Amino acid sequence: MDFTANPIYVLVILCLMVILAVYAGKSKFGKQFGAALLVILFTAVLANLQLIPSASNSIELYTAIFQYVAPISIFYLLLNVNLASIKQAGLPMIGLFVVGSLATTLGILISWFLVSPDRVLGEDGRVVAGMLTGTYTGGSVNFNAIALEYDFQEKGILYAGTIAVDNVVTTLWILATLIIPVVLRRFWKDRATIKSTAHKPSQLLPEEERMDLNSLMWLVFLGLAAFYLSDIVSGYFPQIPSILTLSTIGIILAQTKFVANLKGNHNLGMYLVLLFLAVIGAYCEISAVTELKEIGITLLLFAGLAVLFHGILVILIGGLLYRDWEMIAIVSQANVGGGTTAIALAETFGRRDLVLPAILVGTLGTAIGTYLGFFVVYIL
């Protein structure tokens, strides 16, 4: 019997990696990286050593964490949202996100002419380019929307390989966006006027964050009920993403005095985010890319260069316009990794003023990603 397929064993390991990442993130050396980056690295190493399942042998536990834990973690983090913060960060983030989306499209086109993936992939190269444009603008919804249109999911090995490459590049970009503000700040200081509008990490007293039984029972109920309600709404209105409904419920509840007085929602949300990031790390499977040999290397080079060009353009334009490196990193992550990882980044940086804008731009990416993906397929 393969013990690594046992969901309880895997969950124990994931929880242990979260604990180790949090403790390591408090050490003198670990503070340079943070718990979010460390938990991704820890689980990526274990997955590639085949001590826990990875993308190619994924288990239902991972699917459940993606489907349930990640959205509910966003709900809990949104219970801290102050709507006034969007006035400070909303418009700059939305503007920069549009720039980032166009930079993704341009990056794909530049990478196409440099790498020439059609030389190896043939006509499938155009579809892959469109799928990657979609996913690096809004996420996997756009990736699969384009794949389904061209029946690309029927090309088993190539489809799986493209997903594997996407997982690796996305994970590497999460690591990059965690490091970007630290590195760039040394050479190009944040603009004081932009920085002054941002919230610093909330310095809550221990008793304010200590979760009591009353808060715990209400938070569990509200999280599950909100998720169920959003699921019902998406059933009647499939054009409305369930995460948008869930986020709206969280934002509305956050403005009520009762919910504002509940304790520990931020810590609960962050724990679930770290658990989600642990699975992201596990999905970073290097062997799945190398097994495809020339096709895998071509896909990795094509996607990697496209994201790199996206990053360079966003950093240059964002630096000239705003020079708030944390905001720029979060916007780029919303493009490449999606709203959930962008929120995780905002929380890691202690930028709670950017949590709601991260949700908004993530939703915007889902809305426009498919269009940009089909545009790329059309012009290539």
| pLDDT of 195 higher than 50 | no
Q: Which two tokens stand for residue 262?
A: 């509940």
User: What are the boundaries of each domain within the chain?
Assistant: 66-191+210-379
Q: What count of other Cβ atoms lies within 10 Å of the Cβ of residue 87?
A: 10
Mean pLDDT in residue range 2-28 = 88
Query: What is the model's pLDDT at position 207?
Result: 44
- How big is the CA angle at 276 (ends 271 and 279), to the nearest 5 degrees? 130
Cα–Cα distance measured from residue 238 to residue 380, given in angstroms and rounded to the nearest whole number? 31
pLDDT band at 206, cuts 50/70/90? very low
Distance of CA 332 to the CA centre of its chain: 10
Place of tokens 């989600």: 276
Which residues make Cβ contacts (< 8 Å) with residue 111, sequence separation at least 6?
302, 303, 305, 306, 309
pLDDT single digits (tens) 302-358? 999 999 999 898 888 888 877 788 888 888 888 888 777 787 788 778 777 777 777
pLDDT band at 161, cuts 50/70/90? confident
Cα–Cα distance measured from residue 230 to residue 83, given in angstroms and rounded to the nearest whole number? 21
Cα–Cα distance measured from residue 357 to residue 199, given in angstroms and rounded to the nearest whole number? 13
Residue type, 104: T
pLDDT band at 217, cuts 50/70/90? very high
| For the chain, percent of residues with pLDDT exceeding 70 | 85
- Which pTM value belongs to this model? 0.66
Tell me whether residue 212 is exposed, middle or buried, using C-beta atoms within 10 angstroms of its C-beta: 0 to 12, 13 to 18, 19 or more: exposed
CA distances from 58 to 54, 223, 260 (A): 5, 26, 38
| pLDDT of 19 higher than 90 | yes
